[in-house]
Amino acid sequence: MRVALFLTCVNDTLYPDTGRAVVKLLTRLGVEVDFPMAQTCCGQAHYNTGYRHEAEPLAEHFADVFRDYEAIVTPSGSCGAMVRELYPRMGERARAQGRGDALAATLAPVVPKTYELTEFLVDVLGVTDVGAYYPHTVTYHPTCHGLRSLGLGERPRRLLQAVRGLELVELPGAEECCGFGGTFALKNPDVSAAMGADKVRNAESTGAEVLCAADNSCLMHIGGTMTRLRTGMRPVHLAEILASTKEEPAV
């Protein structure tokens, strides 16, 4: 099987390790990975801040780049949700505004083929044990879009539970938003920081060494709060844990 990796602009620029981890993991599972170099950004920040017209060319660009792949895999719940949930809405909206079916027709092919990493592993490849080894105590934060827009459910936890050496501890208030919310963190910094601090305190109370999530944007916010609050915890993307083996542990 040959899939396209949609790494998202944040991962590409700030978290290349996550991308390498996805490549390593999928390759180990026998999947051929391609990274279309023309990819950029799904348009989520534009869309959610109210600049929906600015988001449309980005969505069209995304569809152009990824149209011909069998499957598109992304290690970001929120960007995955953007494609799966909001691209169809963009199309409907253009139609409602009398702009015809063109946008909907352009975007439609990529929508059902886009998978968040854990969905791809569990639903498409049918694996929960990916042969990983990660000897640490981990607590899992299900990010809002993964949880509510994509409905990832137990998939990430099942994958983590199958990792050798890993001890999974429950995060109190797990389903509460960490307070990132894209431009929300810029527009409402005080509330956002208060939400982040509560999330970090809850994580700390578990005694885990690592807080794991499947979205680097949330991890950036949580991790930035962790170092500021001087906790000893580390934020780690789920893909990096799943890619880790005894021979090649995650950094």
73-112 residues in contact with other proteins (CB under 8 A) are 89, 96
Question: Least Å distance between CB 195 and other proteins?
Answer: 5
Cα angle for residues 111, 50, 237 (degrees, 5° grid): 55
Q: Which residue has the tokens 């105590």?
A: 137
Of 95, 124, 161, 184, the one binding other proteins by CB under 8 A: 184
Asked whether position 40 contacts other proteins by CB under 8 A, the answer is yes
Asked whether position 49 contacts other proteins by CB under 8 A, the answer is yes
Question: Least Å distance between CB 188 and other proteins?
Answer: 5
Of 37, 126, 232, 251, the one binding other proteins by CB under 8 A: 37
Question: Least Å distance between CB 183 and other proteins?
Answer: 8
Other Cβ atoms less than 10 A from the Cβ of 110: the count is 23
Identity of the residue, 99 or 228, whose beta carbon is nearer to other proteins in the bound complex: 228
SS3 60: helix
Of 76, 106, 139, 149, the one binding other proteins by CB under 8 A: 149
Q: Which of 3, 246, 13, 251 is nearest to 132 (CA)?
A: 246
Which region among 105-113, 118-126, 202-210, 224-232 touches other proteins (by CB under 8 A)?
Answer: 224-232
Q: How many CA atoms lie within 13 A of 125 on its CB side?
A: 27
Measured between its terminal Cα atoms, the distance across the chain in Å is 28
Identity of the residue, 114 or 143, whose beta carbon is nearer to other proteins in the bound complex: 143
Question: Least Å distance between CB 215 and other proteins?
Answer: 12
Asked whether position 207 contacts other proteins by CB under 8 A, the answer is no
CB burial class (10 A; 0-12, 13-18, 19+) of residue 50? exposed
Beta carbons within 8 Å of 205's beta carbon, 6+ residues apart: 172
What tokens were used for 138? Answer: 């981990």
111-130 residues in contact with other proteins (CB under 8 A) are none
Of 70, 194, 205, 207, the one binding other proteins by CB under 8 A: 194
| Distance, CA of 205 to CA of 7 (rounded, Å) | 32
Identity of the residue, 37 or 161, whose beta carbon is nearer to other proteins in the bound complex: 37
Which region among 29-37, 106-114, 119-127, 152-160 touches other proteins (by CB under 8 A)?
Answer: 29-37
Asked whether position 172 contacts other proteins by CB under 8 A, the answer is no
SS3 13: helix
Whether the CB-CB separation of 87 and 58 falls below 8 Å is answered with no
